[in-house]
Each structure stands twice: as C-alpha cells, then as structure tokens.
Amino acid sequence: MGIEAITELIDALRGENGCPWDRKQTPQTISVYLVEEIYELIDAIDSGEHDSVCEELGDVLFQILFLISLFRDMGHFDFKNVVDLIVEKMKRRHPHVYGKDKVDSAEAVQERWHKIKIKEKQHIPTDSVLESVPSNLPALMRAYRISERAAKTGFDWHDIFGVLEKVEEELNELKTVLKAQDPTSKDKELLALEFGDILFSLVNVARFANIHPETALRGSTVKFEKRFKYMEKLVSNNGKDMESIPQHKLDDLWEEAKEKVG
C-alpha cells in the first residue's frame, strides 16, 4: 500500500456515508492535532523505540494528508501541487547538488540556504527579517529562530564569551529585582521579564555552541525525570513517601540517583 491507500481512507471517512467527526473537521482543527502528533513523534524518536517511531510517523502523515484533502475539496490545491512545489523548492535550494555551485561544509550549505530564502522572499513586502519566524512556535524554539535571524544581519556578539557575560549581567539584574522587593509583594511581571531576559541570553549561548536549546532542555528534563523516579522508587520500597523524607536525606538520594542512572 502507498499514499493512495491513505487518501482513499480519508475520502471514505469524509464521504457522505463516512464518519461525522471527520466530516466536520477544518484546517484549523486538524492543525492542532498535527502539532500534538509531531510532539508524540519527537517523544518516540527520543525513546529510541523504532516501532513507536514508525507508528507516530504514520499519525503525522495521516494528519498532513487530511489537511491536503481539506484544501483540495475547497478547490485550492491537491497532493500533486504540494509535491511539485516542495521538489522544486528543494532543488532550487540545493544548487550544489542540482547546479554548478560548490560548497565544502554543512555551514556553507546553511549560509547559502539562508541567502536563497531571502532572494525567494524579496517579492513579498516585509518590514522585518524576523517576520518569517512563525508566531505560534513554542517560546524556546521561537527565541532561537529570532536570535538566529537577527544574527544573520550582523547584529550579534563577537563570540560566545560575550554572550556569557550578557547572561551574568541579566542574572545580576534579576538578583537586584529580587533583593529590592518585598517577598510578599513581588512584581511578578517585572520578575518574569528579567527571567525571560536570562532565558533569551542562554538561547544565544546555545546558538553559539551549535546546540539547539529545545533539544538540550528536553534532554536535561528527561535526565531529571529518570533520577527523580529512581528516588521515588527507593523511598516507596521502604514504605515511605517523598514528603516524609528530610531534605538532607533527599539530597543523599539524589546523589545516589546521579550515580545509578546518570
């Protein structure tokens, strides 16, 4: 079976004698499910379970083809139009493969890609190079893209150490705000802004280090989960709960978890 099997399935689900739920869906509603399925796919990839990756890829593919069928039925475009456009665009953006251009590194490819994208968008009126960054991206991912776009214009630090100095500066500003305020009546909006400045600066550290902050944070969160679950299991095996354990004992358990689960 190929793509046709899925499109036939979708047509049947949305047909006259199909499923009422599928028939009432819109591009807006399906886009929400697509986002959810993509995150489930990312979880599967991180888990290393190949069967799960295969299943989640199918879910994502189904949502994409469902969207195409909706736009096809509205008379806008069909599957062939989508394929033709992406093939044309990918060939255009790889002149070192489909043309005579030469590049000798992944970094050079990325730089060429960016220049080609700018050239492609020149006919579209825009007030800022940042407008191409989707507003609905998760905050951490969007911050990375925004800083990346700004850096392409030359508005950037000279090196990673300059960014680290900025992180320290922002951290000191947060400390100043915390010390200056009454603990019972902190200005949450100001604190949030100062904390956000720290996060944005750290995003730039990640960019200079050639790592993605979303991937890095996800990895650290998974690591914390494993260690914490190990602690919970140890406590539970002794017939106790986490709330009953003194802080210094929890610290000892945490050190043990670090040794056992990494």
Domain range enclosing 221: 216-261
Looking at residue 179, which CATH number applies to its domain?
1.10.287.1080
In angstroms, how far is CA 185 from the centroid of its own chain? 34
Give the HSE-up count for residue 6: Cα atoms under 13 Å, Cβ half-sphere.
15
Split into its structural domains, the chain has a count of 4
| pLDDT tens readout for residues 214-239 | 989 999 999 999 999 999 999 999 89
Q: How far is CA 214 from CA 26, 142, 146, 159, 170, in A?
A: 30, 10, 14, 21, 21
| pLDDT tens readout for residues 167-216 | 999 999 999 988 887 656 667 888 899 999 999 999 999 999 999 999 89
Give the HSE-up count for residue 257: Cα atoms under 13 Å, Cβ half-sphere.
19
Q: What is the pLDDT of residue 109?
A: 86
Please check whether residues 82 and 135 belong to one and the same domain. no
In angstroms, how far is CA 117 from the centroid of its own chain? 21
pTM of the model: 0.71
Please check whether residues 179 and 245 belong to one and the same domain. no
Local confidence band at 123 (pLDDT 50, 70, 90 cut-offs): low
Amino acid at 72: R
First to last CA, the chain: 43
In the predicted model, is pLDDT for residue 129 greater than 90? no
Tokens of 16: 């006259």
Q: What is the pLDDT of residue 185?
A: 60
Q: What is the pLDDT of residue 184?
A: 61
Least confident of 103-117, 136-150, 157-171: 103-117
Please check whether residues 61 and 46 belong to one and the same domain. yes
Residue-wise DSSP of 28-66: HHHHHHHHHHHHHHHHHHHHT-HHHHHHHHHHHHHHHHH
Please check whether residues 97 and 82 belong to one and the same domain. no
Please check whether residues 161 and 97 belong to one and the same domain. no
Residues 163 and 201 sit within 8 Å (Cβ to Cβ) = yes
| pLDDT tens readout for residues 15-72 | 999 999 999 999 999 999 999 999 999 999 988 999 999 999 999 999 999 999 999 9
Query: Quick count: other Cβ atoms within 10 Å of Cβ 152?
Result: 14
**Locate tokens 């969207």: which residue?**
67
Please check whether residues 29 and 80 belong to one and the same domain. yes
Q: What is the pLDDT of residue 5?
A: 95
Give the HSE-up count for residue 12: Cα atoms under 13 Å, Cβ half-sphere.
6
| pLDDT tens readout for residues 69-114 | 999 999 999 999 999 999 999 999 999 999 888 888 888 888 888 7
In the predicted model, is pLDDT for residue 124 greater than 70? no
Least confident of 131-135, 163-167, 169-173: 131-135
Local confidence band at 131 (pLDDT 50, 70, 90 cut-offs): confident
Cα–Cα distance measured from residue 243 to residue 259, given in angstroms and rounded to the nearest whole number: 23
Please check whether residues 116 and 142 belong to one and the same domain. no
Please check whether residues 76 and 119 belong to one and the same domain. no
Residues 157 and 204 sit within 8 Å (Cβ to Cβ) = yes
List b or e across 31-64, with b for residues whose CB sees 16 or more CB atoms inside 10 angstroms.
Answer: eebbeebeeebeebeeeeeeeebeebeebbebbb
